[in-house]
Structure 1
Amino acid sequence: MLRSLYDWTMALSARKSAALWLAVIAFVESSVFLVPADVLFLPMALARPERAWRYALIATVFSVLGGIAGWGIGYFAFDAIAEPILRFWGKLDTFNELKAGITYETVVLMLVTSGFAHLPPIKVVTILSGVAKINLGLFVISAAITRGARFFLLAWLLRRYGEDIRHFIEKRLSYIATGAAGALILAYGAFQVLIHH
């Protein structure tokens, strides 16, 4: 099922309405959809590098709007909407593990790791933020910075290095980002240990 979703999303990049689809995918990725907007963003930015910044802006804005929707689902309708969504995508256990002891600082950390390594998936972070009643203004600012950093970094890399960097992004960047996210989590954990001793 995931593979067919991926292929369908990739096929959208060739359509004239690709920018609209990018907005839709970026929005729903942040609240209910499993396939990341990068799948659409990368081929679009490669095909029209002069529009890479525009595509990055579209992806960022609609990702943040989708994040607000995810926050609203977690805040207002967890039992009715969020729990079935998380269970459907097999993310409910991840969500429950993260829910204990959530703070604004851990939400920001998860937005960073989700933005750069999709760990945890962004929909988990946005819904969790609503459930934990994280201040919406702080959440929006943090999401805009972290999601924007991802899409604008990808736009810059694609404009500068073109097709060569695409293979690197698709095959190796996730490993590097995962390693960096892991280091960030360890650093945060060490910091928490130090300030509580």
Structure 2
Amino acid sequence: MIRILLADDEHLIRGAIATLLGLEPDLEVVAQVSRGDEVAPAVREHRPDVVVLDIEMPGMDGLTAAEGLPGQAMIILSSFGRPGYLRRALAAGVRGFIPKDASADELATAIRKVHAGGRYLDPEMAASAMMAGDNPLTDRERGALALAAEGASVRQIATALHLTEGTVRNYLSSAIAKLGATNRITAIRAAQEKGWL
């Protein structure tokens, strides 16, 4: 049996996936969690073979949860096919990335393939990621832009990142230019659409 942990904050979807996977003779859902910060403790407790993660969850997003599980077989199941998400997932060691509208058969196939050590990537998501190119933002630019997206002022960003206000302005200006945006708001939107924030 392939032991599976499901992490999704939408109870109805999580329950439906668990039920459908439970119909497969070689798959068993051993645990379900609704928050990203519950994933690592559940992995330690239940020792699943494969973890299936949603991206958007309270407590911690699925990508951050994946980054904290090195060596664990993981699949991202998400309605967000943003190229940056796929690249970040692969960098975290995730071996499967499929859309939430995939069939139960496709998910079961992905679980089996990932459990066997392979990869399973949705072809459309993979093509989008390749066409989008690499994230042009440095870690500092991304950090400043992420804080700006939360509504932080230049002064607050400077304090949080231990930088001067002038340096923060430079990082934000650089991010705006790299993203081909006209201001901070359009830069934030562009970075979020690509999954770079």
For the aligned pair, the TM-score class normalised by the smaller chain equals under 0.3
Q: Which has the higher helix share?
A: 1
TM-score (norm 2): 0.27
TM-score, normalising length: structure 1:
0.27
- Greater Rg by CA: 2
Which is strand-richer, 1 or 2? 2
